[in-house]
Amino acid sequence: MCGIFGYWSRARQPLPPQALHAMAQTLVHRGPDDEGIWHQPQRGVALGNRRLSIIDLGGGHQPFVSDDGQVAVVQNGEIFNYIELAAELRQQGVQLKTASDTEVILRLYEREGIGFVRKLNGMFAIAIDDAREDAMYLVRDRIGVKPLYIADDGDTVAFGSEIKAIKALPPANRSQFAIDIEAIHHYLSFNYIPAPWTVHQGVKHVMPGTWMKFTRRAGVQTQRWWRLADQREQDFTYEAWAEEFMATLDDATRIRLRADVPFGAFLSGGVDSSTIVGLMARHVEPPVRTFCIGFADPRYDESAFALQAAQRFGCEHTSEVAELNMLARWPQVLHHLDQPHGDASFMPTLRVSELAAKHVKVVLTGDGGDELFAGYDKYAAFFARPDASSLPQAGFERAYFDSISLFSPEAKLALYRPEWRQRLKGVDSFTAAAKPWFDEARHLDRVNQALYLDMQLLLSGNNLVKPDRMGMAVSIEARTPFLDWRMMELAFRSRGSTKLGPGGDKKHWFKRAAVPLIGEDLAYRKKQMFTVPIGEWFKGESHGWLRDTLHGSELLAQIFERPVIDAMLAQHREGSANFTRELRALVALGVWGEAVVGIEA
């Protein structure tokens, strides 16, 4: 696990070494153990790495460079099947000098070219400099567990694991970092900015399952190398499905225990994290280290369920009662995110990451289970609608999008100041950000279409950002067994009826399959969201902070009509309407934008 960064100049114009070190310094939290930079100033290219040492502590220094000095590689992430891939390479006569998974990437690329990425089972963002082709590759893992941002001003391509690394470069073209008002428009629909957009006009997210190739002759090539939508639903018996599900998840968990440092797990006592911890216990001799935070308010406290799961599997369990009102930590959270996010659960995730970081360098999490197997209440609520199955396809797509949207299109336009309203009235977030994913998934049943949209948008745009950024903020690595490619493909070969059962039973077959491992109490307990009662704070103890932040934000004042925001504040406080999510998104944008001087058109 690391942070990567670098640049590629079309005109072979070198950046000064101090600029590269400035990029590196922005990512020290992602990699506090080591720094390495491969700089070819005569070619105008550099790859850099800040390393969090997890595998081959002594031999895993990056970048890895080929024996002839023509190819250099850096990666952020882990290749979990690197042991098997290394064995294949040795059988082919390849001499490996280290036990590092990054050397495996280098040797595979040397032998097979960029197509090697299909062999990788892991979470990764990879940069490759190939002097033989005078080319640079940027590669992102299948579902976007690891981030990778890019800024291309036409002369120089800069990349980094976080936007702040790109911002560290000399300000030759500051217009790249002007606020992208279309991205804000989409933010108001989703509560996060969906890829490839970012909050900045000139910075984009490399899309999951995609590689980009930069050459001076052919320009930029982009190729999607993996598509979850390539799956076709099959008819399973429950018994056959449960056997494959548990075997796949067990192996996905097993290979994610490969580390040369202490590891543990986040444990809430929900079905996802309990199942992962139960599988970990099969493969670990010492007790599994588990971590949980609780709250004094029982409505938000899952610590009793976490303890129940920990005791069932003989874990060494660490739990702390956290302060409930965490609003003071929001600026810190948003600093690490580099963009506005309206999800309040980033704050408790940072808190449990801090707890775990006192003891381990790696944690396994249950992330991805809800999106793969219909674990959220919103799925049951939408598909309980009488018209959920009878709507025409276009009507279904729009209805589902509307059901998950933060602000409706009409509410967004009413919120904008006149100049922004005029510019954005023709921009439809459904058409721009959601419909392309629905188009890919039309061959799937409607439950799976809804899940596919959330896999592509919610998961990579928000829910995977949470463990990555909050874990990396305190230098721990989060691993997600549910997002093993084999598990994702099985999930989308499974019909929606296996996920959302009679009466809206969420994770229908998953819970049934997990009962022998985790017991009925944990498998079937009512789901609690890992969040905080921010809506109540907005009515009471934190209302003044909310009002002052919304009123004091120059960014919000430039974009939005203050009377509309004030009406939402008043209605929320008096209880005539619940604008928790809307106010949360607006105040997150305001807190993030405190350092923004203005908006450039």
Phi, psi angles (nearest 5°) of residue 217: -85, -50
**Cα–chain center distance at 135:** 28
Spatial strand order of the sheet with 289-294 comes to 316-321, 289-294, 263-266, 362-364, 477-479
Closest CA to 289 of 319, 269, 259: 319
Can you read off the two tokens belonging to residue 200?
A: 């900045």
Pairwise CA distance, residues 202 & 505, whole Å: 44
What Rg, from alpha-carbon coordinates, does the chain have?
24
Pairwise CA distance, residues 464 & 425, whole Å: 31
Helix ranges (DSSP H) in 298-408: 303-312, 330-337, 346-357, 369-373, 377-383, 393-404
3-class DSSP assignment, residue 527: coil
3-class DSSP assignment, residue 60: coil
- DSSP code per residue over 113-182: GGGGGGG--EEEEEEEEETTTTEEEEEE-SS-SS--EEEE-SSEEEEESSHHHHHTS--TTGGGGSB-HH
Active site residues: 2
What is the amino acid identity at position 549? T
Closest CA to 539 of 579, 591, 585: 579
Q: What is the DSSP letter of 16?
A: P
Pairwise CA distance, residues 105 & 82, whole Å: 9
Pairwise CA distance, residues 82 & 122, whole Å: 9
What is the amino acid identity at position 401? F
Looking at the chain, the number of H-run helices and the number of E-run strands are: 27, 17
Reported as type and span, the H/E element at residue 71 is strand 71-79
